[in-house]
Amino acid sequence: PRTPAVDPVAATPPAGAKLCVACRAGSVDTDGYCENCGHAQPRERDHMEQELGSVAAVSDRGLRHHRNEDSFAVSTTALPDGSPAVVAIVCDGVSSASRPDEASAAAASAANEALLESLPRGTHPQQAMHEAILAAAEAVNALAQEPARAREHERHRHQNAPACTLVGSIMAGGLLIVGWVGDSRVYWVPDDRTNPPARLTEDDSWAAQMVAAGLMNEAEAYADERAHAITGWLGADAYDLEPHTVSFKPDRPGLVVVCTDGLWNYAESAAEMAAAVPADAHQRPLHGAQVLVGHALDGGGHDNVTVALLPFAVEPQGAGSACGTT
């Protein structure tokens, strides 16, 4: 809190004014502080929720960070044949870089806009996802090229260029497309919980590289202090950008969980994530996302937390893998 700008007794909010969340009596000034009690108001990005048809997302600052550096975008559109396409993009700003909150917002917006342009045009969803990640990378790169910001960066060479991770899903034409760069993840949770859940992404991280190279087992790699150091990201100082895209054709209904590590750190395995997902999340995706964010906050909320839920509806077609790659 800061010193009130006016006498508390005289603070009478005008009709329609935004009330303070703390005292519920004072109005909020242009700097975001209550004119009655001086309490700083939550910033817009501290907690965000959006529900759009059957897709929903929730993002929260968490309990330890002073700002929310995650961002998301959810949208719906139609393919040329009129069938629906549902999109969810989740981005996590790299805290060690400069302006990570701007990076994640720029990436989420650019990827979403690219998909809303390419999918109705008839671009195959997997190709559209690849192009959307490239568009997101360009948007993040552009932040480092802004003249004033570039001069600032020259003065602070120890700061890295704006950077973030990205993970996204598209549901269209009976397909589930997943794309990512970094360590944000997508999980598949079948509606019939007797079928096994699955993680659909592989982290761009030090631990994942060690396991893939056969140098450590998973337990050893993730116990190392370097485990979560990312090896892929969007940003002007990124290495060669290699967007990952995978196409699946689920043969049964399920829930697609798109999230940052602020959630999966508290439900890392597919089984743990499935256990944290409410049984009615397919029917109530916004509530399900709220519950999952709450799960992370109850676990300690050490990071920003963002999750999008996309229910995938298909008629069961007998036995087979729940989520086969195409």
Instruction: Name the more confident of 299 and 65.
Output: 299
pLDDT range class, residue 277, cuts 50, 70, 90: very high
Looking at the predicted structure, is the pLDDT value of residue 321 above 90? no
DSSP-assigned letters across all residues of 176-219: EEEEEESS-EEEEEESSTTSPPEE-----BHHHHHHHTTSS-HH
Say yes or no: 24 and 102 in one domain. Answer: no
Over residues 161-185, the pLDDT tens digits come to: 999 999 999 999 999 999 999 999 9
Looking at the predicted structure, is the pLDDT value of residue 16 above 80? no
Strands (E), the chain: 47-52, 55-60, 70-78, 84-93, 163-172, 175-181, 185-190, 198-199, 234-235, 244-250, 254-259, 305-312, 323-325
Residue 172's contacts (CB-CB under 8 Å, 6 or more residues apart) are 79, 83, 84, 85, 86, 119, 125
Side by side, which strands form the sheet with 185-190?
Answer: 47-52, 55-60, 305-312, 254-259, 185-190, 198-199
Looking at the predicted structure, is the pLDDT value of residue 157 above 60? no
Q: Give the per-residue pLDDT at 219.
A: 87
CATH number of the structural domain spanning residue 55: 3.60.40.10
Q: Alpha-carbon distance 62 to 184, whole Å? A: 16
> Computed over its alpha carbons, how large is the radius of gyration of the chain?
21
Q: Give the per-residue pLDDT at 273.
A: 98
At 278, is the secondary structure helix, strand, or coil? coil
Q: Alpha-carbon distance 143 to 101, whole Å? A: 11
Q: Alpha-carbon distance 322 to 69, whole Å? A: 34
Structure tokens of 314? Answer: 């298909």
Structure tokens of 313? Answer: 């509806």
Say yes or no: 25 and 49 in one domain. Answer: no
Mean pLDDT of the region 264-282: 96
Instruction: Name the more confident of 10 and 200.
Output: 200
Over residues 59-113, the pLDDT tens digits come to: 999 998 889 999 999 999 999 999 999 999 999 999 999 999 999 999 999 999 9
Looking at the predicted structure, is the pLDDT value of residue 197 above 60? yes
Q: How many domains does the chain have?
A: 2
Say yes or no: 58 and 5 in one domain. Answer: no
Say yes or no: 139 and 54 in one domain. Answer: yes
Say yes or no: 117 and 59 in one domain. Answer: yes
Say yes or no: 14 and 143 in one domain. Answer: no
Say yes or no: 173 and 303 in one domain. Answer: yes
Looking at the predicted structure, is the pLDDT value of residue 9 above 50? no
Structure tokens of 268? Answer: 């890392």
Mean pLDDT of the region 262-283: 96
Q: Give the per-residue pLDDT at 312.
A: 97
Over residues 204-234, the pLDDT tens digits come to: 999 999 999 999 998 899 889 998 899 999 9
Say yes or no: 222 and 321 in one domain. Answer: yes
Instruction: Name the more confident of 222 and 308.
Output: 308
Q: Give the per-residue pLDDT at 27.
A: 86
Over residues 26-55, the pLDDT tens digits come to: 888 877 788 888 877 777 889 999 999 999
Q: Give the per-residue pLDDT at 173.
A: 94
Q: Alpha-carbon distance 176 to 2, whole Å? A: 49
Looking at the predicted structure, is the pLDDT value of residue 158 above 50? no
Instruction: Name the more confident of 118 and 314.
Output: 118
Considering the chain, what percentage of its residues have pLDDT values greater than 70? 87
Are 36 and 4 spatial neighbours (Cβ–Cβ below 8 Å)?
Answer: yes
- Number of C-beta neighbours around residue 25 at 10 A: 15
Say yes or no: 16 and 123 in one domain. Answer: no
Structure tokens of 7? Answer: 């006498």
Residues 243/208/177/288 CA torsion (nearest 10 deg): -130
C-alpha distances (whole Å) from 98 to each of 103, 180, 232, 267, 278 are 9, 21, 17, 29, 36
Looking at the predicted structure, is the pLDDT value of residue 1 above 50? no
Say yes or no: 306 and 158 in one domain. Answer: yes
Are 168 and 244 spatial neighbours (Cβ–Cβ below 8 Å)?
Answer: no
Mean pLDDT of the region 236-252: 92
- Type of residue found at 200: L
Q: What is the DSSP letter of 276?
A: H
Residue 30's contacts (CB-CB under 8 Å, 6 or more residues apart) are none
Domain region containing 73: 45-325
Mean pLDDT of the region 141-159: 63
Say yes or no: 68 and 150 in one domain. Answer: yes
What is the residue-averaged pLDDT of the chain? 88
Determine the Cα angle at 61 with ends 69 and 162, to 5°: 5
Q: Give the per-residue pLDDT at 322.
A: 55
Say yes or no: 8 and 109 in one domain. Answer: no
